[in-house]
Amino acid sequence: MQPACHPRSDPQVNTQRARHPLLFRGAAILLGLSLLVLLEIALRLCGVQPLPDSQDPYISFSSDATLFIKDPAGTSYQTAPERIDFFRPQAFPVKKPADTFRVFVLGGSTVQGRPYAVETSFTTWLKINLQAAEPERDMEVINCGGVSYASYRLVPILRETLQYQPDLFIVYTGHNEFLEERSYGNFKQSSPIYLTAQKSLRDLRIASLLQRILPDTQSKISAAPKTVLTADVNARLDFQKGLEGYHRDLDHRRDIVNHFKYNVRQMILLAKQADVPLVLVNPVSNLKNCPPFKCEFQNGLSQPQQDQLIACWKAANDCGWNEADRKMQLWKEAVRIDHQHADLLYSVGKTCESLQLYPEAKNWLTKAKEEDVCPLRILEPMHVSLLELAQEFHVPLVDIRSLIEQRTPDGIPGSEWLVDHVHPSIKGHQLIADTLYEKLVTLQLLPQPADWQSNRDQLRLAHLNSLPEEYFLRGALRSRRLEGWSRGRSQKIPPTSTQSFMQ
């Protein structure tokens, strides 16, 4: 007869007891995670939104100068004198009159109406549209378009204008992100997995709740060293040899694209936090009549490969249109050697356009824009960011790029609606204003009476007739100067430094 085992010495009993703590811990972890998931779902259902950051983790500014100051009488806000080099003078009452509809429009030189000015910007045509819809109301459309202003410079302006009792924000941005020199060194040292996880955590409503309870945590997170920019823009192309400073840098380009999305997200969250409607605009670029601003051969291309590419290029240019098939064959042979040379891609696109292969031409011309070493036109990933953010936060978006494509016979944006690489014609600004007005009607922010169009046309004509001939001559002169600027012909001496770093 076998002796009875003591319970403590029974291997089966010991194994079962060892399993129980593990099962208990696992169940506790699952329960905790389930509670967090339920809390996250409950917060989302209750309408809790992510909070905007109190500071930009990428850059800061050397001073906190405001865009608007009170006039000597203290009755109106006006554009600060030190900002007039970048903004056009604007004014509005400190005490907002009853039944006033106050709109702030933020962006760069397109918002300002360049190469002309505010008088023919879509902001002025929008004000006319609003007046035509409700003549009895006081309509204020305040133009906050800053020359060369990128999205990261618009966030402080939106934050400032929240105190001026806005009824609506409109944001048109994306073309100026590459104008100023800045570094993303701290973020380059972080792995993509870490940055993705950080973004995902920031979007959690639980994180928003904690940020409300512990507001000091954000300032600690934002205390890392970062690029410090001057109060106003120091665009590289404003100075001698500015174009020479642009080189292909895919990592830096990715960082700028990410920063753009971050800034637009910040503006959306700031407006939502204040319960002020915000409308995004998806900008348009000139694809068809704007060669790239700077080109470089693909990295790693040998000298023999460069010589072969140039030979194909020259042979393609020498081919007449009666040899169109041979011309395209040579272009495609050149592209097989280097698929990143923007001028080459543009030439292929223009050839397709001449052959009336419009969808193919649009594809090549878009590639040429994307490979431009000096990107003065919004990049495709930035278009995607605008559409994604509009969908994620249920923000209305006016897709001007798609609208211009639809209104252009060949579907390729060009000089039909644009006077240069990004700036719409006066007719283009009127189209933008009409589309914005229609969006506001859809959002039930404004009515559309039966006589709206006739009222609008009368007001438009009266406004155009009030502008002197010199206004249009100055616009034409400014357009020629802008062309020289974009091609790196500025003669200004650059400052010793346009940026510094927080220690």
- Provide the residue count of the chain: 503
State pTM to two decimals: 0.86
Check residue 207 and give its pLDDT.
60
Q: What is the DSSP letter of 229?
A: E
Check residue 190 and give its pLDDT.
52
Check residue 211 and give its pLDDT.
57
Q: Are 108 and 255 in contact (CB under 8 A)?
A: no
* Coil vs helix vs strand at 498: coil
What domains appear along the chain, each with residue ranges and CATH number?
A: 43-286+377-503 (3.40.50.1110), 303-370 (1.25.40.10)
Residue by residue, pLDDT tens for the chain (503 residues) are 455 555 555 555 555 555 567 677 777 777 777 766 776 676 666 655 677 888 888 898 988 889 999 999 999 999 999 999 999 999 999 999 999 999 999 999 999 999 999 999 999 999 999 999 999 999 999 999 999 999 999 999 999 999 999 999 999 999 999 999 988 865 555 555 655 555 556 666 666 566 556 555 555 555 567 789 998 899 999 999 999 999 999 999 999 999 999 999 999 999 999 999 999 999 999 999 999 999 999 999 999 999 999 999 999 999 988 888 899 999 999 999 999 999 999 999 999 999 999 999 999 999 999 999 999 999 999 999 999 999 999 999 999 999 999 999 999 999 999 999 999 999 999 999 999 999 999 999 999 999 999 999 999 999 999 999 999 999 999 999 999 999 988 888 877 654 544 43
Written as one string, the DSSP assignment of 363-402 is HHHHHHHHT-SS--S--HHHHHHHHHHHHHTT--EEEHHH
Written as one string, the DSSP assignment of 402-431 is HHHHHHSTTS--STTTBSSSSPBPHHHHHH
Angle at 436 between CA 97 and CA 169, to 5 degrees: 50
Q: Are 244 and 293 in contact (CB under 8 A)?
A: no
Written as one string, the DSSP assignment of 461-486 is HHHHHHS-HHHHHHHHHHHHHHHHHH
Angle at 22 between CA 19 and CA 25, to 5 degrees: 150
